[in-house]
Amino acid sequence: MSKIDYIKTSEIFKALSNPIRLQMVDFLLDDECCVTDVVNELGISQSASSQHLSILKNSGIVYPEKHGTRTCYKVNNKLTEEIITLLNKNNNA
């Protein structure tokens, strides 16, 4: 009997199944984090950034920290961190 919760885990993968969100998480893991930084880094619209970050937030992968008018997003999911580490370590895609 497997220990994997297929529904919960598949929701994490669903959040990571978009190249923009995957890049966001990779970026947020070791860099600056306010929405404007993400917009500039990834070169996508403000609205799209906000919506993608919202999906990552709702799946429990990131959480927001408000600083004045800015919102700083940080990765807060052990599994996701381990997976990104795995991806950066190996050359398997």
Q: Shortest gap between Cβ of 3 and DNA (angstroms)?
A: 22
**CA–CA separation, 48 and 53 (whole Å):** 8
Q: Using CB under 7 A, which of the segments 1-9, 23-31, 53-61, 81-89 binds DNA?
A: 53-61
Q: Closest Cα partner for 52 from 32, 30, 43?
A: 43
Cα separation, 36 vs 80, whole angstroms? 23
Residue closer to DNA by CB (options 3, 66) is 66
Could you list the residues that contact DNA (CB under 7 A)? 14, 17-18, 20, 34-36, 39, 44-48, 50-55, 64, 66, 68-72
